[in-house]
Structure 1
């Protein structure tokens, strides 16, 4: 029990059906939002009540967001302080410490780790925190202190960029909260060496979610020519080189990302087996097909074309186009890997449009493996959106 009393937030009589079955959110149209509650600052810690005013849970409130209540504890009037943060982070850290031999992983995966809207990636002695919800932005100093106490890292970066922060009305800002950072960070993963730019790169600097899919792709590439499209800092391409590929070509629209990919290949001593091509992925694949280029393995890991339901149909058409263009570049008997990080495009729809695109390219295929994010990206049982990553591995005729 506690003597803390948070402001009250009440459900409508028929509100909270998903919350009652385990979902970590309550939407604004499920709540009684009167003048008093709308006056609460974004990020205020509140206690949720049912329609009969019985306390149910502690969470974070946002008066203007569609996601108005984020569950922090399934107990009312719970203290949300540094000690609470320390316990949550320690619980998450214990899993990662058990799973990985080296301290390079996603430490906190938002709702699935009990910290809604918070992403924390670890890069050895440094962490990058994305506080994508107002409550976390308010408590960023306490989050940083708790992470340092649990992990022993000396450098903490606040990466305040991205669409999620904008939805919560938060400004873009990236800053060093603790310690210092001297250039990019070497990240060993699956035998490759990646270069992560924690201050200027996309997201937190590297995508850890594809780790198991990099590893499976590496099983297909021995002595192969590999094309890595939407490569970012060389995710699949460098893993392919580590797996024994004869050569890898990375395609991306970002010159800085490709430069980091080249630096990673050089760190691995494989610069002579690695090439980059800057340009729009669709245009580049079309041009390569016209040039007669063929690869034993082609991998496409595009950004989220369907980040929400409104964009789902257009996004699915884009994924079909990726599959069609990429399939034309695969040598007979070769492999095609197609990925989606769009939670609004579920696996069934993604598989449907991907195989349709392959068929439209005049190729027959068999699906040999379906991948997902690694275990440092756990799935919240009540939040389908947390199972966002899909990877289809196909063998073509």
Structure 2
């Protein structure tokens, strides 16, 4: 067993990890954090009686004090990282995802806290969210090179986690080379992914199944895509036969990238697209009606203290969106706010339906796609929530 000083918990605070195998230990549960914890990789976590709860990555500057990678007294095997990366890749290989873009590693969902890896065609984009994962980056790259020969590996620095964790590695290629961009194919439609300059790792892979669901009802309809980013929902709807697609986004750079993607698809007429650089709420106030609306906003609440304001925002957004639906129209609406759970979001949707004055059917509850697994016992991993609604 490691002789390094352990993170020690307060009396009785080991229960979530031991009973539910919950991978997060919060700061208020910690009695002692040794100096320098988190800089050298895994640390031992002990209960107040000295028994070992598990092993994990300490984060002294975060509300989450430790992210556990194993439970119980036994220290993880030397090749624990490589085994879990290989297991995550094997699971994806059996999913039958019809795209050359997918999430290979979903942090706690693949029992690899602090590590996200997304594949975009010939490039794997890696994002580190915890300080203890940085010393392991060379091992991550070596393992990915064995699993996916010839793939480029790009490290995308997440500035939020970098500030909280004190991360030092900069964005850039760890294997191979390129210009920070690539082209992927999803649902028969090509799209530009700018992983060097785009949000997160460059593309929202979690919405793939929901884009497919949206495409399945898009033929012959007019479409309004709110918070469109680089237009993935718009491209999929157009590819499925939508007659008009209006996309509203506050980032001009994102809209320009979306237009670039249209040019990669000769079967899509640029004339059917309208790219609107505007505030979504201002645009909805115009009252124009559409047959199909997508509302996929950025997080309205990252912390619990922000939930009340977020719920007001979701209520306003969905009430206005429902009023802009043509009779028989369909709304795909989402929340990616981790602090807003499914029950809260459903209550907001129901209230918005009442206030809109429309008769609304809740057709389908929506989730992140299958390559974004959630570990049993870790409900916080399920951040994306959504509904497919029909309004008379």
Deviations 1:173-207 (A, max 9, x none): 42222211235311111232221101000100000
TM-score for the superposition, normalised by structure 2: 0.93
The verdict on how the C-alpha distance between 1:42 and 1:62 changes in structure 2, with shifts beyond 3 A counting, is farther
Structure 2 Cα separation of the partners of residues 168 and 125 of structure 1: 30
The aligned counterpart of 2:32 is 33
State whether residues 160 and 171 of structure 1, in contact with CA within 8 Å, keep that contact through their aligned partners in structure 2: no
2:9 to 8, 11, 23: 11
Structure 1 Cα separation of the partners of residues 14 and 2 of structure 2: 24
- Alignment partner of 1:68 is 2:65: yes
The aligned counterpart of 1:307 is 302
State whether residues 43 and 133 of structure 1, in contact with CA within 8 Å, keep that contact through their aligned partners in structure 2: no
The aligned counterpart of 1:179 is 176
Query: SS of the residue aligned with 2:205?
Result: coil
The aligned counterpart of 1:97 is 93
> Where do residues 314-353 of structure 1 align in structure 2 (5 Å cutoff)?
314-353=309-348
The aligned counterpart of 1:296 is 291
Structure 2 Cα separation of the partners of residues 364 and 43 of structure 1: 57
The verdict on how the C-alpha distance between 1:347 and 1:216 changes in structure 2, with shifts beyond 3 A counting, is same
TM-score for the superposition, normalised by structure 1: 0.92
The verdict on how the C-alpha distance between 1:45 and 1:172 changes in structure 2, with shifts beyond 3 A counting, is closer
1:266 to 252, 263, 268: 263
Query: SS of the residue aligned with 2:242?
Result: coil
Q: Give the C-alpha shift of residue 260 in structure 1.
A: 1.5
The verdict on how the C-alpha distance between 1:41 and 1:58 changes in structure 2, with shifts beyond 3 A counting, is closer
Q: Give the C-alpha shift of residue 41 in structure 1.
A: 5.0
Q: Give the C-alpha shift of residue 159 in structure 1.
A: 0.9
Q: Give the C-alpha shift of residue 124 in structure 1.
A: 1.8
The two structures, once aligned, show a CA RMSD in angstroms of: 2.0
State whether residues 46 and 77 of structure 1, in contact with CA within 8 Å, keep that contact through their aligned partners in structure 2: no
Residue correspondences, number: 388
State whether residues 134 and 169 of structure 2, in contact with CA within 8 Å, keep that contact through their aligned partners in structure 1: no
Query: Structure 2 regions of 5+ residues with no counterpart?
Result: none
Q: Give the C-alpha shift of residue 135 in structure 1.
A: 0.9
Query: SS of the residue aligned with 2:376?
Result: coil
The aligned counterpart of 1:253 is 250
Query: SS of the residue aligned with 2:206?
Result: coil
Query: Structure 1 regions of 5+ residues with no counterpart?
Result: none
- Alignment partner of 1:158 is 2:165: no
The verdict on how the C-alpha distance between 1:301 and 1:163 changes in structure 2, with shifts beyond 3 A counting, is same
State whether residues 337 and 391 of structure 1, in contact with CA within 8 Å, keep that contact through their aligned partners in structure 2: yes
The aligned counterpart of 1:285 is 284
The aligned counterpart of 2:214 is 217
Query: SS of the residue aligned with 2:230?
Result: coil
